[in-house]
Structure 1
């Protein structure tokens, strides 16, 4: 029987091309996979030395048994490694099963190719959760440019109908939309870098280049081919105030994927911080006005994607960066396509018209923009459940965005003081910045900051009440002027969520007498349920 199994495994391996086999056997899967979202009672690592992964997570024991041929096992393990590092580890067994079914389909077609997998997604009845697991794995294969898979291929997945989406394709789904905490981390990281440069901080040219690419893609949704066509002179200074130092920037962005050849360009305003980063990058690189803004050698999609993920990692929590450096966690996987569709969805959710969305994204028709607008909160909730994104999972991610808990009696360095509304708040925590210069609004922005050290005996509830009061006032003002989708409301709600997470951590610390970086999911669930009932 063992001989028969070996023969079957050998024949199953024939679906892979020799160059793909060579590439997949070279990938590095750490012996211990770091779980960044593990709480106090979860396993902090998954041992990957055998074909059976067993680990405890969220009160359950998870089993993942890899029973395919050697090459398929290596492939699926690599995808599971990325999923455990980037998303909810409890879903790893589901990822394994989804990809086992996908490889079985490839065996029936005698080929493991992008075309076969795309056909599998289009023609087979797949559970919604498994559908997104396969999409996730394809993103890994395309982003890392495995033989037979490219980022151009990944964009071809856009119009595959998602489960229960009535043939509206990717534009009505949220599998490409960034988490609010991820968006908060990106915007704060870019803003902080711009301010640090203004005060004389020196970053390497590569770090600057990566941040500029992330910033441009994040705020404009530009495709890699558009970034490759950018010239230095395409950055424009619209206004400059010598007294305040305020500068307004705009960008002439080339069109891409048009039906007809065009030399016209999009005229887009960009945030001052992004404009300042681009100017500094141009000066550091000593680029000429008629020269290219970015040099991508032979592959713009690959280089843009790599720059985005390197910059994202730079803005990530220190413990996650350390785990990646040790090889225990996977690098983040965010593609230009993800950021582009995030721009489209964000604009639609703010009530922007189809014409404006089409202009910003450089579309020649309103078709895609209308699909963005058709995406409803109800659809978003369904997709979030299918992807395993839930409030408890977001809580665990949020807890990584502040530093260690400490006591006000033990903290000897700089303390945080600030005003929210008409209330002065102090004694809530300390700031661990070396230079003591913070570019953000103190107290208001501290609860989502990596340098913030919350005091376990601080009055965080008073801060929360001040923010809630501001949210209520914002909603009232927005409703009175007919602007129910005021973007400031979502920003304040994110701040409110961050403060609630810190309160839950402090409460758990006081009740249990331990200072742990990860709190119990049950405590968070009960606390947030209580705050909603108040």
Structure 2
């Protein structure tokens, strides 16, 4: 873990006076002699309170402060923040073991005692503490005894268990099933169609789901990262350069990028976002190419100091995504409750769906921007089983929970004039309802209609015949093709089943 920049940072700091202003690696100014620092980072404001080191002697407190300021000027602020938290936890533990006695130096015995106090599922915390103490050792700053300096590199620790939510297909935090995923997409489209989502928020959600990007990556997107070019046939190519993060020690965001080609529909939406952002840039005297694609109406503390004026922080973007997803109120067919949605779960879903389609760990690592293939092996090892069988009884049972049907059931004679939707039976075309949009959406009618909010199906139309036909087709595909192909229309099946159930209830009430 030897880091050359740390030695240079330490030497530079030692030559400075205590009241001299320093700058983080991102460019934010702070005064090292202060006991509380609040610095801007891409993730959000990071606070360093050196008064909050209960039990530490004044000398040890100053040594911890020296470590943190060296890290701030040479590495990611998040590393300095995580290091301070780890040191604080250790010192608090030692102070509680020796009440009334100041901790003047950290020994190997202290670290081992702390490790022994951890529960089995918390043992990974010792590994993280070791990593942060090795940074301290690397800087050559006092406060660690000789025995710890010698034996710390060889101290055995345990890794944090990863992938449990994926491995167990946890219904609360794990990847979404295909049915939940399709329900989510349908809810987003319906919310946008009904005016409940702005174009900007719709674009953000679709990009987040399509790329599976981390909130910080979405927050840091600039107009200059987006380009539009043309192929020989004049069709457009939309490329978005997405900054890579978590690429190793000392590698800052917006230094390495991965190009992602976007589908034309999504690319056009991003182009509209950039046009709006450039207008903002002109009004705020900002170069258009550095304007954020997704503007924040309340940019975090001094984001302009680190080249991110107008941007969301990583934390605020994560909160925004969580809020937008929560407002969709999508129900899970597994639990009957509203889906608990957040961007990490969307990423897990992307990885799981890629594995189910047969992609390798290296392809999944590329999709999720993992630095190591090992992080993506969990998806290949846990290829989820598809729902192999949906019969009529199960479809009718799941339908009210899935809430896939989005239209309005009406009487044939009560509908306004509009485009009539037909379905093909063995003998003829049958009318099943009308389109309330009075327009051609170019989607595959009538199947796409049953999950559309504009659809006005008729009570007396042959919806049950369509349900039987879809179930029969699914069974044939399940026996002759891949289950993923067979499951393509599962959401439509549940929507039609829900409508059949509603028709039965309405007819039942009318005959009483």
Task: Calculate the TM-score normalised by the size of structure 1.
Answer: 0.51
> Which of residues 203, 212, 221 in structure 1 aligns to 2:212?
221
CA distance in 2, matches of 1:426, 1:120: 65
Which residue does 1:170 correspond to in 2? 165
Residue matched to 1:511: 508
Distance 1:210 1:511, change over 3 A: same
Aligned to 2:446: 443
Query: 2:433, 2:271 → 1: CA distance?
Result: 35
Match of residue 264 from structure 1: 256
Q: For 1:367 and 1:514, how far apart are their aligned partners in 2?
A: 62
After superposition, give the CA deviation of every residue in 1:271-330 in whole Å (9 maximum; x if it has no partner): 22221111112123326233332345236344323433554467669xx9xxxxxxxxx9
For the 8 Å contact 2:395–2:493, the answer to whether it is kept is no
Contact persistence 1:213–1:304 (CA under 8 A): no
Q: 3-state DSSP class of the match of 1:450? A: coil
Q: 1:182-239: per-residue Cα shift (whole Å, max 9, x none)?
A: 5334434666799x8xxxx9x89x8222222211110111011111222212223354
Q: Name the CA shift for 1:512/1:501 in 2 (closer, same or farther; >3 Å).
A: same
Say whether the 8 Å CA contact 2:277–2:295 is kept in structure 1. Answer: no
Between 1 and 2, higher relative CO (CA 8 Å, sep ≥ 6) is seen in 1
Shift of 1:414: 1.9
Choose which of 410, 424, 428 in structure 2 pairs with 1:406. 410
Partner of 1:58 in structure 2?
none
d(CA) in 1 for partners of 2:318 and 2:354? 22
Who is 1:211 aligned against? 202
* Contact residue 396 and residue 498 of structure 2 kept, 8 A: no
- Tell me if structure 1 keeps the 8 A contact 2:246–2:371: no
Match of 1:461 in 2: 464
Equivalent residues of 2:424, 2:430 under 8 A apart: no
Distance (Å, rounded) in 2 between the aligned partners of 1:121 and 1:441: 54
Counterpart-to-counterpart distance in 2, 1:355 and 1:341: 15
On the 8 A contact 1:350/1:485 being kept in 2, the answer is: no
Answer 1 or 2: which has greater helix percent: 1
RMSD of aligned residue pairs (Cα, Å): 4.2
Q: How does 1:244-255 map to 2 (within 5 A)?
A: 247-255=236-244
Q: Alpha-carbon deviation of 1:407?
A: 1.8
CA contact (8 A) 1:408 1:427 kept: no
Q: Deviation per CA, 1:351-394, whole angstroms, max 9, x where unpaired?
A: 2111110001011112221101222446999xxxxxxxx97885
Q: For residues 425 and 311 of structure 1, what CA distance do their matches in structure 2 show?
A: 41
Residue of structure 1 in register with 2:455 after alignment: 452
Secondary structure of the corresponding residue to residue 203 of structure 2: helix
Conservation of the 8 A alpha-carbon contact between 2:208 and 2:343: yes
Corresponding position of 1:116: none
Q: Describe the shift of the 1:428–1:310 C-alpha distance in structure 2 as closer, same or farther (beyond 3 A).
A: farther
Give, in whole Å, the separation in 2 of the partners of 1:440 and 1:316: 25
For each residue in 1:395-422, what CA deviation from the matched residue of structure 2 results, as whole angstroms up to 9, or x when unmatched? 2243464233222132233254245698
Write the mapping of 1:120-269 to structure 2, written as runs, cut at 5 A: 122=121, 168-172=163-167, 173-174=169-170, 175-188=173-186, 207-237=198-228, 239=230, 247-260=236-249, 261=251, 263-269=255-261
Q: Say whether the 8 Å CA contact 2:223–2:274 is kept in structure 1.
A: yes
Aligned-partner SS, 2:240: strand
Kept in 2: contact 1:431–1:453 (CA 8 A): yes
Larger Rg: 2
- Provide the C-alpha distance between the structure 2 equivalents of 1:313 and 1:514, rounded to a whole number of angstroms: 40
Partner of 2:342: 335
Aligned residue for 2:377?
A: 370
d(CA) in 2 for partners of 1:465 and 1:392? 12
Is 1:357 the counterpart of 2:335 in the alignment? no
Matched with 1:286 is 278
Offset, 1:474: 5.1
Q: 1:270: Cα distance to partner?
A: 2.4
Cα distance in 1 for partners of 2:483, 2:404 equals 29
Structure 1: runs of 5 or more not aligned: 1-108, 110-118, 124-158, 162-166, 321-329, 382-389, 516-534
Relative distance call for 1:379 and 1:464 in structure 2 (3 A) is closer
Inter-partner Cα distance in structure 2 for 1:505 and 1:438: 26
Q: Is the 8 A contact 1:207 1:311 kept in 2?
A: no
For residue 267 of structure 1, report the CA deviation from its aligned partner. 2.3
Is the alpha carbon distance of 1:233 and 1:225 closer, same or farther for their aligned partners in structure 2, counting shifts above 3 Å?
A: same
Equivalent residue for 1:275?
Answer: 267
Shift of 1:453: 2.4
Contact kept? 1:254, 1:266, Cα under 8 Å:
yes
Paired residue for 1:105? none
Counterpart in the other structure of 1:308: 321
Q: Distance in 2 between matches of 1:248 and 1:416?
A: 36
Describe the SS at the equivalent of 1:445.
helix
In 2, Cα distance between equivalents of 1:407 and 1:343: 41
Distance 1:439 1:282, change over 3 A: farther
When the two structures are superposed, what TM-score results if normalisation uses the length of structure 2?
0.53
Q: CA deviation at 1:249?
A: 2.4
How has the CA–CA distance of structure 1 residues 367 and 510 changed in structure 2, closer, same or farther, with 3 Å as cutoff? Answer: same
2-structure distance, mates of 1:465, 1:380: 18
Separation in structure 1 between the aligned mates of residue 270 and residue 397 of structure 2, nearest angstrom: 35
Aligned length in residues: 324
- Name 1:431's counterpart in structure 2: 435
Q: Deviations over 1:483-520 (max 9, x none)?
A: x365x4332222222222222221232234389xxxxx
